[in-house]
Amino acid sequence: MNTGAPNGVLLEMDDFLEGKIPAPTIQELASDVAEASQALASLGITALQDATPSNSISRWETFVALKSDDALSQRVTLMIGGESTTKFLRSGVGRDSKDMNLRVGAAKLMVTKTSGSLFPDVTAIHETVKKLDNKGFQVAIHAVESEAVSAGAEAIALTRTSGSQLRHRLEHCSEMPPVTLEQVVASGAVVVTQPGFVYASGRRYLAETAAANQPWLYRIGGLRKAGTMLAFGSDAPVIDPNPMLGIYSAVSRKSQDGDVVAFDESICLHDALEAYTLGSAFAGRMESHLGAIKPGLLADMVLLDRDVTTIEQAELTEIQVNNTVIGGAMAWDIEDQ
């Protein structure tokens, strides 16, 4: 009997849902964003990227309002949809790369295989990446399945053959058999991935992935050894945004249930910390402003409640943030809570 209640899963239908769900007022949005910003600051997060592929000038203007009202403490980079790049170029909006509080970042390209076949097809992927590169946009290619990762790596490799220095990115790279990993490394792409998925979904991965393919899941160790630049994030709200959970699973390869996923793909603690800081700044082309604590860079810093270099791996998930400083201003102080 059809009761009208949700009873399934919707895939790649963000735009459809956005058109069906009533939008909040700007006051409601500002209140919710301020609450979310405090929650992120409590986790030591000083910067974020909105990777929504449909981002437009209207979304940019919303962020301008939120930043003007001080609802959002974190620095924001807005990815934009490929179809919006011409409008952004004509308007000049967000092209001042010196503003680290709110800036336009990469053009987002979704490459998926959720319908059973690659979409868009390889020819269209190559043409789109070339077109965006010619416009001067860094491209961030959403690629989860091995076929999508391979097609994205091929497209990026072609731009580098033409001399591009725009640091095009592959987002996720969830499945990489050996030949695909070799393509990614050879392409020179920056890989932006989320080790926290191992923590959140490791048990499901082991249950649903053929044993022969499990070693190819979230291969950060193989990429690191090959010299590929890694940047880590969370893909929130899909999973918990807490960086410490991602750091824990990057070094232990353990899920929240204790399951081990492709242990050979683990990396050391130093490399995991670097991927969340300097690696992410590099992926966003901001390393001359952010990503480390040293003279000349912006004063974004986090004070933890213990020394992460001296504790057992399991303690990484228990770490609390005492203070978060963004641009020299206190965004979070645990003593005020």
User: What does the domain layout of the chain look like in residue ranges?
Assistant: 47-298
Ordered alpha helix ranges (H), 50-194: 57-68, 85-91, 122-134, 146-161, 178-187
What pLDDT, on the 0 to 100 scale, is given for residue 215?
97
Whether 14 has a pLDDT exceeding 80, the answer reads: no
Assign 164 a pLDDT band (cuts: 50, 70, 90).
confident
What pLDDT, on the 0 to 100 scale, is given for residue 8?
82
Whether 226 has a pLDDT exceeding 70, the answer reads: yes
The residue-averaged pLDDT of 1-20 equals 76
Mean residue pLDDT across the chain: 94
Q: How many other CB atoms sit within 10 Å of the CB of residue 319?
A: 21
Which has the minimum average pLDDT: 82-86, 204-208, 229-233, 301-305?
A: 82-86
Which has the minimum average pLDDT: 5-19, 256-270, 276-290?
A: 5-19
Whether 13 has a pLDDT exceeding 80, the answer reads: no
Question: Is the pLDDT higher at 48 or at 26?
Answer: 48
Angle, CA of 279, 281 and 286, to the nearest 5°: 145
Q: Which long-range contacts (CB under 8 A, 24 or more apart) does 259-263 make?
A: 259/202, 259/203, 259/206, 260/202, 261/198, 261/202, 261/205, 261/206, 261/214, 261/217, 261/218, 262/214, 262/215, 262/216, 262/217, 262/218, 262/219
* Tens digits of residue pLDDT in 91-114: 888 766 678 999 999 999 999 998
Which has the minimum average pLDDT: 75-79, 87-91, 215-219?
A: 87-91
The residue-averaged pLDDT of 306-327 equals 97
Whether 11 has a pLDDT exceeding 90, the answer reads: no
Q: How many other CB atoms sit within 10 Å of the CB of residue 97?
A: 12
Based on the number of CB atoms within 10 Å of its own CB, is 206 exposed (0-12), middle (13-18) or buried (19 or more)?
middle
Query: Which CATH superfamily includes the segment(s) 47-298?
Result: Metal-dependent hydrolases (3.20.20.140)
What pLDDT, on the 0 to 100 scale, is given for residue 5?
83
* Tens digits of residue pLDDT in 173-189: 999 999 999 999 999 99
In Å, what is the CA distance from 17 to each residue of 10, 27, 144, 251?
A: 9, 22, 22, 37
Assign 161 a pLDDT band (cuts: 50, 70, 90).
confident
Question: Is the pLDDT higher at 19 or at 269?
Answer: 269
What pLDDT, on the 0 to 100 scale, is given for residue 237?
93
What pLDDT, on the 0 to 100 scale, is given for residue 36?
97
Whether 201 has a pLDDT exceeding 90, the answer reads: yes
- Return d(Cα 322, Cα 302) in angstroms, integer: 8
What pLDDT, on the 0 to 100 scale, is given for residue 141?
98
Assign 7 a pLDDT band (cuts: 50, 70, 90).
confident
Which has the minimum average pLDDT: 56-60, 137-141, 232-236?
A: 56-60
The residue-averaged pLDDT of 281-301 equals 96
Whether 251 has a pLDDT exceeding 70, the answer reads: yes
Whether 222 has a pLDDT exceeding 70, the answer reads: yes
